[in-house]
């Protein structure tokens, strides 16, 4: 690899693989989340992601290139994290919390990738390609915002271990007595 063009095609190919992996991961998140609003959000973004893959395909056509057979290791890593977490026998509420956090990481990663690809596309005067990537970026940003909203509301049912909880109750009582005295 020697040229910016080659780097750009490589980056686009990486995103193509990332989006393909995410279609599957989003499907899994929609299935294993328990809150209906989360299921719906993951399902909606899965459909959007299929459209993003089509836009990437159009980018390759406009460039007269084919997607390289490459693997997006960043997204692969996030999916591996989910697999490791699932093996810890998590409760339903923790699965929801984890899925929201994982989605925030994935969207943030995609946003960084799309922003740098758009910069490169503009640099190389691929206006239409930059426009298509911009549409994907817009959807990722909207999804990130939505997931951040969930993250404010979706919390573990039990925040502390039983031992920690009892200690907290005991110390609240002590400080209550001190205040009363």
Minimum CB separation from Fe ion for residue 52, in Å?
5
Nearer to Fe ion, 120 or 144 (CB): 144
**Interface with Fe ion (CB under 5 A):** 49, 52, 110
Nearer to Fe ion, 29 or 49 (CB): 49
Minimum CB separation from Fe ion for residue 108, in Å?
11
Minimum CB separation from Fe ion for residue 82, in Å?
16
- Does residue 127 contact residue 59 with C-beta atoms inside 8 Å? no
- Does residue 18 contact residue 113 with C-beta atoms inside 8 Å? yes
Nearer to Fe ion, 17 or 32 (CB): 17
- Does residue 154 contact residue 103 with C-beta atoms inside 8 Å? no
- Does residue 32 contact residue 87 with C-beta atoms inside 8 Å? no
Q: 3 to each of 9, 61, 137, how far by Cα in Å? A: 10, 19, 24
**Using a CB cutoff of 8 Å and minimum separation of 24, what contacts does 42-45 make?**
42/99, 42/103, 45/103, 45/139, 45/143
Nearer to Fe ion, 138 or 167 (CB): 138
Minimum CB separation from Fe ion for residue 23, in Å?
9
- Does residue 30 contact residue 46 with C-beta atoms inside 8 Å? yes
- Does residue 83 contact residue 25 with C-beta atoms inside 8 Å? no
Nearer to Fe ion, 96 or 110 (CB): 110
Minimum CB separation from Fe ion for residue 20, in Å?
10
Distance CA 142, CA 163 (A): 40
Nearer to Fe ion, 16 or 120 (CB): 16
Q: For residue 152, give both structure tokens.
A: 């404010």
Minimum CB separation from Fe ion for residue 153, in Å?
23
């Amino acid at each position: 690899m020697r040229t910016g063009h080659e780097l750009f095609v490589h980056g686009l190919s990486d995103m193509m693989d990332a989006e393909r992996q995410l279609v599957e991961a989003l499907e899994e998140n929609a299935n294993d989340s328990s809150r209906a609003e989360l299921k719906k959000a993951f399902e909606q973004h899965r459909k959007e992601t299929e459209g993003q893959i089509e836009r990437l395909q159009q980018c390759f056509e406009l460039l007269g290139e084919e997607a390289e057979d490459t693997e997006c290791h960043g997204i692969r890593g996030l999916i591996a994290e989910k697999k490791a977490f699932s093996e810890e026998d998590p409760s339903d509420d923790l699965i929801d919390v984890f899925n929201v956090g994982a989605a925030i990481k994935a969207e943030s990663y995609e946003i960084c990738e799309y922003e740098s690809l758009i910069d490169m596309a503009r640099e190389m005067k691929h206006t239409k390609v930059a426009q298509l990537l911009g549409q994907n970026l817009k959807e990722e940003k909207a999804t990130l915002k939505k997931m951040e909203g969930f993250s404010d509301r979706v919390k573990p049912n039990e925040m502390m271990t039983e031992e920690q909880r009892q200690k907290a109750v005991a110390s609240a009582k002590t400080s209550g007595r001190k205040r009363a005295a």
